[in-house]
């Protein structure tokens, strides 16, 4: 019997698609929903499944930003082949995305037992949701919102890339929340910060999904639930990306801050009363 049913996979796909690129923590929400459905969050099959369905969300980013990705890839290829093309900002940006991915890959491989063990607790998720809210609120208030995507530097990319580690070690902190906050602290405007978060998430999340695929299939998750969860996350994530970019162009991050605090406090309440197991 599959560790995750088709119906559960579809629901988790919706959760993944809605939360992967919103600064509310997809990992945290997936763990909460899995816990409410009685799915063991630390099970190898479940951990693998949640990583694999992220590929659906990543595919949504690839499609949504296809023209940008082609532009960066073309600039990178031209720069590699012709030194005269290396002054192009898109060429440099492509390299920065690659270099900014190295820290999270290194930490992810070295700290995998810790991430999938003690740090997988829902108590950690609740605390990280609230702590991440404070960071987001400060970043939105302190950032000067004056630089666009064309102003991004190598230092910006590396700092934002390293911020992904917070979400890796603290499920509930939110990868997008951490990266958007780091970019805002670097004085990028909200749209540029959000787009940078999307681009920097592509290599790390895609790699995580591919790396975990063997565990997901070998530990009890069937191919059908994986396909369903991934497909649903793709459709929902595409809509979420479009909505998020329109939202941050006109609004602050306050709504996300408040939502995260409410969810974090509610989670502590469920854990404290025994309604939900950590």
Predicted confidence (pLDDT) per residue in 109-156, tens digit? 888 788 777 787 889 999 999 999 999 999 999 999 999 999 999 999
58: pLDDT strictly greater than 90: no
Radius of gyration of the chain measured on its C-alpha atoms? 18
CA distances from 178 to 23, 38, 163, 225, 231 (A): 8, 29, 6, 30, 26
165: pLDDT strictly greater than 60: yes
- Does residue 277 lie in a domain region? no
- Does residue 182 lie in a domain region? yes
Nearest alpha carbon to residue 245 among 5, 22, 16: 22
216: pLDDT strictly greater than 80: no
Nearest alpha carbon to residue 119 among 178, 165, 161, 168: 168
1: pLDDT strictly greater than 70: no
d(CA 59, CA 61): 5
Over pLDDT 70: what percentage of the chain?
A: 95
- Does residue 178 lie in a domain region? yes
Q: Which of 11-20, 40-49, 66-75, 190-199 has the lowest mean pLDDT?
A: 40-49
- Does residue 125 lie in a domain region? yes
Map tokens 């590699």 to a residue.
80
- Does residue 133 lie in a domain region? yes
d(CA 18, CA 154): 30
Confidence of residue 46 (pLDDT cuts 50, 70, 90): confident
Give me the residues paired with residue 188 across strands: 147
- Does residue 216 lie in a domain region? yes
For 188-203, what is each residue's pLDDT tens digit? Answer: 999 999 999 999 988 8
- Does residue 1 lie in a domain region? no
d(CA 201, CA 8): 25
119 or 229, which is more confident?
Answer: 229
d(CA 24, CA 46): 20
Q: How many domains does the chain have?
A: 1
Confidence of residue 220 (pLDDT cuts 50, 70, 90): low
For 15-38, what is each residue's pLDDT tens digit? Answer: 999 999 999 998 889 888 988 888
Mean pLDDT of the chain: 90
Confidence of residue 217 (pLDDT cuts 50, 70, 90): low
176 close to 204: Cβ distance less than 8 angstroms: no
CA distances from 225 to 161, 182, 196, 220, 277 (A): 31, 35, 31, 11, 24
- Does residue 278 lie in a domain region? no
N-to-C CA span, the chain? 24
242: pLDDT strictly greater than 50: yes
CA atoms within 13 A on the CB side of 64: 23
11: which residues sit within 8 A by CB, 6+ positions away? 33, 37
Tell me which residue range forms the domain holding 69.
6-272
Give the residue-averaged pLDDT of 43-71.
87
Nearest alpha carbon to residue 255 among 268, 267, 243: 243
d(CA 196, CA 186): 12
pTM (predicted TM-score):
0.90
d(CA 56, CA 206): 9
Map tokens 């998750």 to a residue.
221
232 or 108, which is more confident?
Answer: 232
80: pLDDT strictly greater than 80: yes
């Amino acid at each position: 019997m599959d560790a995750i049913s088709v119906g559960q996979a579809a629901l988790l796909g919706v959760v993944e698609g809605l939360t992967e690129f919103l600064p509310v923590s997809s990992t945290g929400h997936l763990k909460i929903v899995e816990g409410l459905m009685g799915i063991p969050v630390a099970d190898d099959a479940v951990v693998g499944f949640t990583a694999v369905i992220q590929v659906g969300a990543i595919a949504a980013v690839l499609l949504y930003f296809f023209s940008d990705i082609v532009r960066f890839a073309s600039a990178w290829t031209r720069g590699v082949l012709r030194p005269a093309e290396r002054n192009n900002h898109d060429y440099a940006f492509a390299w920065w995305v690659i270099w900014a991915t190295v820290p999270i890959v290194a930490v992810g491989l070295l700290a995998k037992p810790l991430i999938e063990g003690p740090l997988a607790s829902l108590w950690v998720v609740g605390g990280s949701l609230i702590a991440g809210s404070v960071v987001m609120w400060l970043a939105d208030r302190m950032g000067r919102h004056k630089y666009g995507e064309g102003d991004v530097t190598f230092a910006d990319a590396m700092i934002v890339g390293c911020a992904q580690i917070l979400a890796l070690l603290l499920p509930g902190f939110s990868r997008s929340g951490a990266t958007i906050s780091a970019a805002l602290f670097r004085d990028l405007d909200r749209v540029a910060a959000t787009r940078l978060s999307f681009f920097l998430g592509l290599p790390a999340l895609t790699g995580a999904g591919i790396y975990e695929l063997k565990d997901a299939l070998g530990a009890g998750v069937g191919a059908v639930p994986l396909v369903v969860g991934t497909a649903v996350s793709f459709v929902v994530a595409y809509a979420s990306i479009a909505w998020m970019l329109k939202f941050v162009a006109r609004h602050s991050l306050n709504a996300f801050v408040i939502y995260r605090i409410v969810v974090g406090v509610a989670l502590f309440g469920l854990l404290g009363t025994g309604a939900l197991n950590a």
